[in-house]
Amino acid sequence: MALYLDRIARLDPVLNVFRTVLGDRAMDEAAHIERRLAAGEVLPLAGVPIAVKDDTDVAGVSSMCGTGIDVGPASTDSAAVRRLRAAGAVIIGKTHLSEFGAYPVCESATWGVTRNPWDLYRTPGGSSGGSAAAVASGMVPGATGSDSGGSVRIPAACCGLVGLKGQRGRISTKESPERAYRFHGLNHIGPLARSVVDTALLHDAMTGPEPDDEIPSPPSAPPLMDALVAPTRRLRIAMSFKPVVPVHVSDEVRRPVLETAELLRSLGHDVVERDPVYPVVGIAAVLALFMNGFADEIDRLPKTELLERRMQAEARTSRLVPDWLARRAVAAEPRITARSQRRIADFDVLMTPVLAIPPVRVGYFEGFGPTRAMLRMLKFIPFTFPQNYSGQPAISVPTGIDAAGVPEAVHLVGRANDEATLISLAAQLESVRPWAQHRPPTEALLSQVG
């Protein structure tokens, strides 16, 4: 534990990853884990330091959610954090995000800019950018993120990590009692890690239902670790470059998908270019749910005048979406999802880019109001937000490093309740195209902090 805390102390002044580091507490927890092991407990994550995104509750620590508004320490751990502790993990700190995770970067007026370990002038993505940068830089071996439109998968792609958004309800999103909030099932908690096996291990540790969950749990499934030892069957994979919204998809993000398609064919899989259908009513439904949920969370806060001006404006707009419209959008999900998947119903996996553009430079949204910022944001999320509405599992998988030294990735979407196929396929890709040996230029970072 001391090794990781020392690494955080040396690297975080450059990367600005952690909102708070729980050093003494982590050391005490590590000692407690040793006692549990000595007593004969079997702990799959024994002593593993984990970073938690600062919108997920850790008992005794405030959840600032990227803002300057402190509503006091959480009374209990979130369900996901409690399960990680039960598996033996040690919570080492809480990581930065954009305000309320509303933007797919990791910058806020209160906490500043979090930087990508691969290129300090680029974003690590978001909104779980602090968690991704923590793992990519080796400050921790794993971290939690939350994903309401791609916020686990986007930073995973920007930082060369595996980022999994499981089936809706597989990991409970239940927080402490004082932070119970409504997000209509869009929000998912997921792991960020360097390898597929670490991702599966973290996901398995957090899996499980909770009483009074906002979203019912899906049908039970075997642990994802089991999928890693089972042979990968021949799969039918639909490849698509069609974005949900009309944005240009750059050649830089197309190329890794095309190269991965050739690799998958060489491994015996059937890869065919086939586009889903994205009904306009589905896009409107997601927007209505996000805005209604965002307004609900904002309205619970004191001192909303401390929010960034752009967020205050977005809150005013979000309040225009009534509850009845959100309920209608939730009720329409099965019909809209079935329509969107009709053309790819006979495929096991959908493969797309993660973003429409490579990781951008920091400050990409600086100086833009809500409308212009939203138009810029569409380039980050045109492939990732449909799965938050449908609830399907999806994973960002690294493919290598481009000529500019920036990580590349592909996005794999599975059938409902079928995380196992995604993990199995990702592990097969990892075995023939290893990426874990690709590390950011850490020594250069260390030289900047003396």
Where in the sequence numbering do the catalytic residues fall? 53, 127, 151
Structural tokens at position 119: 């290129």
DSSP letters along 408-434, please?
EEEEEEEPTT-HHHHHHHHHHHHHHS-
Structural tokens at position 420: 């196992």
Q: How far apart are CA 4 and CA 232, in angstroms?
A: 35
Q: Please write down the HEC assignment for all residues of 372-404.
A: HHHHHHCCCCCCCCHHHHHCCCEEEEEEEECCC
Q: Which one, of 145, 149, 154, lies nearest residue 186 by Cα?
A: 149
**Dihedral sign, CA of 40, 42, 47, 50?**
negative
Distances in whole angstroms, Cα of residue 133 to Cα of each of 42, 121, 136, 154, 339: 30, 13, 5, 12, 37
Q: What is the DSSP letter of 122?
A: B
Long-range contacts of 108-112 (CB under 8 A, 24+ apart): 108/66, 108/67, 108/308, 109/68, 109/308, 110/64, 110/66, 110/67, 110/68, 111/16, 111/19, 111/64, 111/66, 112/16
Q: Is 94 left (phi over 0), alpha (psi -120 to 50) or beta?
A: beta
Opening angle at CA 218, ends 212 and 224, nearest 5: 120
Name the residue with tokens 């980050």. 380
Structural contact between residues 224 and 203, judged by C-beta atoms closer than 8 angstroms: yes
Distances in whole angstroms, Cα of residue 324 to Cα of each of 86, 290, 321, 330: 39, 14, 8, 10
Structural contact between residues 90 and 30, judged by C-beta atoms closer than 8 angstroms: yes
Structural contact between residues 102 and 311, judged by C-beta atoms closer than 8 angstroms: yes
Q: What is the DSSP letter of 98?
A: S
Q: Is 407 helix (H, G, I), strand (E, B) or coil?
A: strand
Q: How far apart are CA 148 and CA 282, in angstroms?
A: 15
Name the residue with tokens 């957090």. 206
